[in-house]
Amino acid sequence: MTTVPLSQRNVVGETRPACGECCDTCICLPEDERPMPRPGLAGRIREDVQTVFSKDPAARSVIEVLTCYPGLHAIWMYRVAHALWVRNFNFLARLLSHIARWLTGVEIHPGATIGRRVFIDHGMGVVIGETAEVGDDVLIYKGVVLGGVSLEKVKRHPTIGNGVVLGSSAIVLGPIEVGNNAQVGSGSVVVKPVPACATVVGVPGRVVKIDGVSCRLKPDLRHEQLPDMVVDTIDRLTQRITALEARLNDLETFEAPAEASFALEEAESWL
C-alpha cells in the first residue's frame, strides 16, 4: 500500500504549511526559532521572549520585552503560582495570583492549566478561570474571559486547543472545547463547542467558516477579514426582496393587458 505524504493529503477545511502537517518540530522555521522539546528554566524564558517577537511586530528589543509586556509578566507569575497550587500551597498561590492581577491587569487562577508559548497581548482585563485549560501557541488579546457557568466544584471552564486566536473581549463560557487553530472574533460570546480550524463570530458565537491553518506557530491575524453575519444576512434578504419585486412586476405586467381586455368586453356588453 502506497503511503501518501502528509503535504499531499487533502483535508477539508485545512490549509497545510509547505512542510506538511504540524508535527511540533517546525522544520519549516529557522533553527533558532524552532521550539525546544523540553526546555529548562532558561530555555523556557528564552522561548517566551521569542514568542513575543514572533507574535507582536511592535516588539523591538529584549529589554523592552522583559520590562514592558504585562502579558508576559502575568504568564511568568502564573507559573510560579501554579507550582505552589499543585503542591497544595493554595493560599500562597492565590495571593501571588492576586498580586499579579494588581500588577498586570491579568487574572489567571493558579489552578488553571496553560501550555507553552502562550502570549497575552496588551493583557488588561483577561480572566482565566480555575478549571480552564489552554493549549500551546495560543494568542490572547485584551479583555478575553474564559469563564464558568456553574457553581459546582467540577470542570466548569473551557478547554482551548493549540494555536487558537482569541480576539479582543471574546468570552468563552462553560466546559466546552475550542478546537485547534480556531479563531474567535472580537466581542464574540462562545457557549458551544468550536471545531478545529473554525472561525467564530457574533453573540452568541456562530461558526462562519472552517478554513484555518495547520501550523499553529503562524496564526492567521487578518481580523479585518472576519465575516459580518448581520451584514451578510441583510444582503441576502435584500437580494431576495429585489428578486421578489422583479417577479411581482412581471406578473403585474402580464396581467394588465388581460384586465384591460376584460374591462373593454364588459363595457361593450352594456352598449
Instruction: Grade residue 129 by pLDDT with cuts at 50, 70 and 90.
Output: very high
pLDDT confidence of residue 239: 86
Report which residue type is found at 242: T
Q: What are the grid coordinates assigned to 62, written together?
A: 529584549
Q: Sheet of 189-190: strands edge to edge?
A: 107-108, 127-128, 145-147, 171-173, 189-190
Report pLDDT digits (tens) over 70-86: 999 999 999 999 999 99
What tens digit of pLDDT does each residue of 201-211 get? 888 888 887 76
- 29 band by pLDDT with thresholds 50, 70 and 90: low
Residue 165 host element (H or E)? strand 165-166
Which H helix or E strand runs over 244? helix 229-270
Mean pLDDT confidence for 237-242:
86
- Please give the distance of CA 96 from its chain centroid, rounded to a whole number: 28
Cell 504540524 -> residue: 22
Whether 37 shows a pLDDT value over 50: the answer reads: yes
The whole-angstrom separation of Cα 152 and Cα 229 is: 35
* Mean pLDDT value across residues 136-150: 91
Classify residue 113 by its DSSP letter. E
Taking the C-alpha atoms of residue 110 and residue 131, their distance in angstroms, rounded to an integer, is 9
- In this model, does residue 243 exceed pLDDT 60? yes
Instruction: Give me the pLDDT at residue 130, please.
Output: 92
Q: Are 47 and 35 in contact (CB under 8 A)?
A: yes
Residue type present at position 88: N
Distance CA 152, CA 17 (A): 42
Rg (CA), the chain: 27
Q: To the nearest 10°, the Cα dihedral for 256, 262, 267, 271?
A: 150
Which one has a higher pLDDT value, 132 or 260?
132
